[in-house]
Amino acid sequence: MGRVRAEGEPEWLQEDTLLAIEWQRLQDETCGGCGHLLTESLDEANDYEAKRITCFACQAKERAEHAASEHEGADLSGHKMTVVHTGRRPLLDG
């Protein structure tokens, strides 16, 4: 994704630079652990509640990694696990 740069055009347009600066500003203002804005999450006056959620894609990935690591003598060096969406299960009527 991106633009095709014509001969003589700069690698970065002014809009590209402005978007990169804005992206970096958002990264700098956001907690890398929880994703909340630091102006709010560092203020002791704010309360937070943690809730457990399940990412079923991560669950499938982690189960496959665990199963692969249980094989005796398996060399998993350099192996990565990827997750592919294979569809939806039908909802149960209840």
Q: What is the pLDDT of residues 76-86, one digit of tens each?
A: 788 888 899 88
Give this prediction's pTM: 0.55
Report helix, strand or coil for 30.
Answer: strand
DSSP class of residue 29 equals T
**What pLDDT, on a 0 to 100 scale, did the predictor assign at position 50?**
93
Tens digits of residue pLDDT in 25-76: 999 999 999 999 999 999 999 999 999 999 999 999 999 988 888 876 678 7
- The count of C-alpha atoms lying within 13 angstroms of the C-alpha of 1, restricted to the half-sphere facing its C-beta, is 0
Distance CA 69, CA 75 (A): 9
Q: What is the largest CA-CA distance in the chain?
A: 64
Structure tokens at 13: 């347009």
**Looking at residue 71, what DSSP letter applies?**
S
